[in-house]
Chains A and B, each alone.
Chain A
Amino acid sequence: MVHGVSETPSRGGEKPRKRLLMPWTACSTILLLAIFLGAWEAYVRFFGVSSLILPPPSAVVGGLIVMVGETETWNHVWVTVYETVLGFFFATVIGISLGAVLGKILWLEKTLNPFIIATQVVPKVALVPLFVVWFGFGPSSKVIVSAVLAFFPIFTNTLLGVKSVDTGHREVMRSLNASRWHTFWRLELPSALPYVLTGMEIGVVLAIIGAVVGEYLGGNAGLGHMAVAAMNAYQTNQLFAVIILLTGLGFSFYVTITALRRLIVPWHESVFVNRDQG
């Protein structure tokens, strides 16, 4: 499909039809959500399910409203945001630099490859208790878990991006006597950016998971801690409310990266296709 699009110089004619489709898709999404919530509420009420096991949506919304009204909640949200952003930041910086370097130096990549694969397949969540022992119950252990989880997709995608530079483009730079620096800055980096951003999209979601899992296992702050506290207090509706907050958080991070994609690689196919559909 992408190739077909690239052959067509102008696709202006298709746009009006797609615009007309938009309200209908939005309506059906909302309708679907309403049906789902209605069925959930009905199921819980008719079958008398204990709210300890599955609270009705109305109770979840009630819990959420109470929660949102408390400053305490926002302190927890802030802690999770802080850990995620910091972890994601380290993962991005280290992932991109290491990916770029290994992508350029073949022998180094070959030497380190077994280690990279080993660290990638090890269940990193199992290392969390170790990180807590090493770095304490404070935010630093969560930042590290978050960074470790987010690192790999960013690293591997950058590596792939740097290695996937088009041969024809390389020859253009070669025929222009381009220096190594120019070749990196004007060709390899922009060519790898779409890959890097894909890595970051996956990475940012993992960064949140890392922070929350870290909070589950140690410490007394953050949304992960709130979830555990709600469970221990048998407040299942509050647990659901925390999950909703986390989902919202994840969604805003993801949307930020997607917006970044439109900003940084407006020329790329992924953005073109999205722009036409949205």
Chain B
Amino acid sequence: MTAVEIELSGIDKVFPTPEGDIHALATTSLSINAGEFLVLLGSSGCGKTTLLRLIAGLVRPTNGQIRIGGRDLWPGKSRNRQAIQDMGIVFQEANLFPWLTIEKNISLPLSLKGASKSVLRETTRRLTKLVGIEGFERRWPRELSGGMRQRAAIARALSYDPQILLMDEPFGALDAMTRESMNLELQRIWMATQRTVVLVTHSIAEAVFLADRIVLLSPRPGRIDTVIDVPFERERDVRLQTSGEFQKIIRLLRDRLEHA
């Protein structure tokens, strides 16, 4: 079952500015399979976030076509609302609404869809357990640490059961220790939910640890440089990072990044 979930055909993105056009992403084609954990890796300015925002439908490609679960994302002037429904997004910042408690934040997407109170309660109960923030349901976001807030944001993105989870450097603002444990959590959540994940990062180690497949991007304009399959078995644990095979892939990617 390797159905294509996300298909990018010949897309590119130009941001027009008064000082001239910025070519953020050169013509790119990429297929992402259902259930795959794909990592977009690159240094800053390589267009990895632009690529993710294109998939998310937050910006429109200048040329080319994006299909999500077979549906054209931009069939006409506006976004295909149904194609968006299948995607949950986790941003660099948790972006929780400060006026909602953690549970209300998590159930916001379902409440916008008009789900019943019992469904909301059941979903928050299940998700706070999944992401490991039980007992904090009634707290304000500001009362939680950065890592906990990001967990809540992941729960919010999973709440309406999207097929695809898009993550834009979700742990970039966290310290190294928290980040490592969040990576383990994310792997566990991914294995438990069997979703397609597209994660953007500039950390090579994070990419190798999490990904089934790494898409390395190079800058100016952003384009796909290399695509690497990561062969390690699941479930991966932290000791993997010290193995020779792991280090070999890291070296390979570092070389490519320097040449790019």
| Partner-B contacts on A (CB < 8 A) | 5-7, 9-10, 166, 168-169, 171-172, 174-178, 182, 186-187, 190-191, 193, 265, 267-269, 272
Closest CB-CB distance, B100 to chain A, in whole Å?
A: 8
Pairs across A and B, CB under 8 Å, 16 listed: A7-B145, A171-B58, A171-B89, A171-B91, A171-B95, A172-B97, A174-B58, A175-B84, A175-B89, A177-B84, A186-B97, A186-B108, A265-B99, A267-B99, A268-B98, A268-B99
Known: A175-B84, A177-B81, A267-B140. A190 touches B99 (CB 8 A): yes
Known: A175-B89, A267-B142. A168 touches B95 (CB 8 A): yes
**Do A166 and B95 have beta carbons less than 8 Å apart?**
yes
Known: A9-B145, A168-B91, A176-B108. A267 touches B98 (CB 8 A): yes
Q: Which residues of B contact A187 (CB under 8 A)?
A: 97
Cα-based distance from A110 to B19 in the complex (angstroms): 26
Q: Which residue of A lies closest to B156 (CB)?
A: A172
Known A-B contacts: A7-B145, A168-B93. Give 13 more (CB < 8 A). A10-B143, A169-B95, A169-B97, A171-B91, A171-B95, A175-B57, A176-B108, A177-B81, A177-B84, A177-B85, A190-B97, A267-B100, A272-B142
Q: Which residues of B contact A10 (CB under 8 A)?
A: 143
Closest CB-CB distance, B218 to chain A, in whole Å?
A: 26
Q: Which residues of B contact A174 (CB under 8 A)?
A: 58
Cα-based distance from A168 to B146 in the complex (angstroms): 16
| B234-258 near A? 1/0 per residue, CB < 8 Å | 0000000000000000000000000
SS of A interface (majority): helix
Q: Quick one: which of B56, B93, B95 has the most chain A CB within 10 A?
A: B95
Q: Which residues of B contact A190 (CB under 8 A)?
A: 97, 99
Q: Which residues of A contact B140 (CB under 8 A)?
A: 267
Which 3 residue pairs spanning A and B have beta carbons closest together? A168-B95, A190-B99, A175-B89
Q: Which residues of B contact A9 (CB under 8 A)?
A: 143-145, 148
**Do A178 and B89 have beta carbons less than 8 Å apart?**
no
Cα-based distance from A174 to B89 in the complex (angstroms): 11
Closest CB-CB distance, A185 to chain B, in whole Å?
A: 10
Closest CB-CB distance, B169 to chain A, in whole Å?
A: 13
B87 at the interface (CB under 8 A from A): yes
Cross-interface CB contact of A186 among B89, B95, B98, B112, cutoff 8 Å: B112
Closest CB-CB distance, B147 to chain A, in whole Å?
A: 10
**Do A175 and B142 have beta carbons less than 8 Å apart?**
no
| B56-73 near A? 1/0 per residue, CB < 8 Å | 111000000000000000
Q: Which residue of A lies closest to B105 (CB)?
A: A172
B109 at the interface (CB under 8 A from A): yes
Q: Which residue of A lies closest to B93 (CB)?
A: A168
